[in-house]
Chain A
């Protein structure tokens, strides 16, 4: 079974700073997807970024980028020029390509951006 671990329950940074959220996972699969989701107080789950395991290039979406280290099974999220609206819970998630296509989530990191 796959497991996803987020070792930082809470983080807090000042607006405009850069912050990195950590995620590690355990799997014997070779083909899979990794995701970062954001859940603001509205509780809506918002997809931030995704990474295909077969791609060596790290995914980027505007101010959000990942550092994907397949051998180390590490998938960190970097938020540059952080904004107040980035305040939310962030969940790392894993999905294997073979078999049941379900998401396995980490425990989450509560990120607070301070003015």
Chain B
């Protein structure tokens, strides 16, 4: 299956600042997905990122708060803007696996906002 490199693995940020998370895939993929996992909770899809078009956001998530870039078929970034303690979560990127056996996830970014 494809390998996803996600960084940073963790960060502690001041409220009001922003954090940009990067995902690099070792092969070209059409769609990349960004998820949020709040403490003790399940995963919720933030947005779907296609190369060459604007990301599609799920209900409750807006571009101003979670801008996404997808400059090519192997890379994407998620920025969490104007941080507040409520943004403290694990953020994960994901891609469709080869031959569509399932979805592969990055190792996650643990964000703590203080």
Q: Give the chain A neighbours of B90 by CB distance below 8 A.
A: 43
Given A33-B102, A91-B42, 15 more contacts at CB 8 Å? A35-B102, A35-B103, A42-B107, A44-B107, A45-B43, A47-B101, A47-B104, A50-B101, A50-B102, A101-B31, A102-B33, A102-B48, A103-B45, A105-B43, A107-B41
Q: Do B103 and A103 have beta carbons less than 8 Å apart?
A: yes
A36 to B14, CA, bound (A): 36
- Most A CB contacts (10 A, CB to CB) among B37, B42, B44 go to B42
Number of chain B residues close to chain A: CB under 8 A: 24
The residues in B between 68 and 107 inclusive whose CB is less than 8 angstroms from any CB of A are 90, 92, 94, 96-97, 101-105, 107
Q: Do A44 and B45 have beta carbons less than 8 Å apart?
A: no
- Most B CB contacts (10 A, CB to CB) among A44, A45, A101 go to A45
Q: A100-B48, A102-B48, A103-B45 are in contact. Are A45 and B105 (CB under 8 A)?
A: yes
